[in-house]
Amino acid sequence: MRTGLKILLLGCAVLSLLGAGPDLALATGADTGAVPPADPSPCLAAIAASDDDRIVGACGALIDNEKTAKADRLKALIARGGAFIRRDQFDRAIADYDVMLGLDPQADFFNTRGELWWKKGDRPKALADFAAALKLNPDHPLAKDNYRKLARELERLGAQMAVAGKPSFNCATARRPVEKAICANPELANLDREIYAVNARVVGEAQGPAEARRLQRAQDEFIARRSAQFGRAGYDLRKEMKDRLQALTGVDGY
């Protein structure tokens, strides 16, 4: 027994000299300073109590802990995002929904973020999120209703904006020659805005996702063709835009 003990002690000393000390510490459960597992209970308790202050704090700690399980992080993000919405802190809520969508791109998350963009007045981003929700779930009732309402709102705004002579895009960032020409001409700007608004409504009221995709594809092809052909001999931008508007308004008798 004494000989065996001496051999064991000698072996441990050799392992230590060879740099096996840290591994041995891990094997024996010694504290190495690692981040402890996340405890979701404070966040869950805050959610159960409907205490927004505790939700922001406790769920925030859970979200920031690198050991938090994905499911727990999503619960914490949903809770904290809801607290931010109730506080009208829309930018912070949108940031949480950005993270949620990175973890799990659900139609519900796209729809809620779209509603937040709408509250902030960013209608193009809102419409894009509602469309993304419908792409994932064409029968999503809230996204479908939101898309239809926003499309109608855009159409009304399009008629109002026509007076101001502003197109559907930001002239400050316009790069294509055709976009610069539209920005420089109030009539063309009005046409562009109206085309955008009517197209949004027509797509929103399409009979099913396949029809919506077909209608949107026609709009995308019109934009691409307009950019490619503008400036060529015989190309009449005003006529092409009026023809496009006529094609859109003739879809459902608008």
Residue 240 CB neighbour total at 10 angstroms: 17
119-141 pLDDT, tens digit each = 999 988 999 999 999 999 999 99
Specify whether 64 is located in the same domain as 134: no
- Burial readout 192-211 (b: 16 or more C-beta within 10 A, e: otherwise): bbbbbbbbbbbbbbbeeeee
Specify whether 189 is located in the same domain as 137: yes
Specify whether 69 is located in the same domain as 157: no
153-181 pLDDT, tens digit each = 888 776 665 556 778 888 889 999 999 99
pTM (2 decimals)?
0.53
Q: Is residue 246 part of a domain?
A: yes
Model confidence at 108, in pLDDT bands (50, 70, 90)? very high
176-232 pLDDT, tens digit each = 999 999 999 989 998 998 899 899 989 988 888 999 999 999 999 999 999 999 999
Q: Is residue 58 part of a domain?
A: yes
Query: Quick one: which of 88, 86, 126 has its CA closest to 110?
Result: 126
Specify whether 56 is located in the same domain as 160: no
4-47 pLDDT, tens digit each = 444 334 444 433 433 444 443 344 444 445 666 778 999 999 99
Domain extent for 65:
40-104
H or E stretch at 32? none
**Residues contacting 126, CB < 8 A, separation 6+:** 114, 115, 117, 118, 146, 150
What percent of the chain is predicted at pLDDT more than 90?
Answer: 65
Specify whether 53 is located in the same domain as 132: no
